[in-house]
C-alpha cells in the first residue's frame, strides 16, 4: 500500500498508530542513513536521527522506534527525542 509516496510494505517504513503513546498517525522511515518522521496531515517531514548505517528494518511500539541494521540495533525514544541504547 502506498501513502503519500511511501510504500507501507517497505521494511524501512512503519506507521505510528493513533493512541499508542507517541507519534500516532505519523510515518517513520529511514532514508539516506537518517531516521525521519512524516506527518501526512501537514506533509512535513522531520529529521530525528542521523548516521544509521545499513538499516534493514524499522518498527515502532508506543514511544520506541527500533531500527535493525547489519551491525547494530538502534532504539530511539520519541518522548525524549534521543537514542536510548
pLDDT digits (tens), the chain, 85 positions:
666 677 767 889 998 888 777 888 899 999 999 999 999 999 999 999 999 999 999 999 999 999 999 889 999 999 999 999 9
Q: Which residues of 42-64 are buried (b: 16+ CB within 10 A; e: fewer)?
A: eeebeebbeebeebeebebeebb
According to the model, what pLDDT value does residue 28 have?
A: 96
Give the structural domain span for 39. Answer: 2-83
Question: How many domains does the chain divide into?
Answer: 1
d(CA 73, CA 41): 30
According to the model, what pLDDT value does residue 31 have?
A: 94
According to the model, what pLDDT value does residue 20 have?
A: 75
According to the model, what pLDDT value does residue 78 have?
A: 94
Q: What is the CATH number of the domain that holds 10?
A: 2.40.10
**pTM for the complete prediction?**
0.88
Amino acid at each position: 500500500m502506498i501513502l503519500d509516496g511511501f510504500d507501507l510494505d517497505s521494511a524501512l517504513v512503519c506507521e505510528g498508530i493513533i493512541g499508542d503513546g507517541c507519534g500516532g498517525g505519523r510515518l517513520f522511515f529511514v532514508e539516506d542513513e537518517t531516521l525521519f518522521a512524516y506527518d501526512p496531515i501537514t506533509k512535513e517531514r522531520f529529521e530525528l536521527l542521523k548516521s544509521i548505517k545499513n538499516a534493514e528494518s524499522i518498527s515502532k511500539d508506543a514511544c520506541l522506534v527500533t531500527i535493525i541494521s547489519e551491525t547494530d540495533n538502534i532504539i530511539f525514544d520519541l518522548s525524549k527525542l534521543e537514542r536510548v541504547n
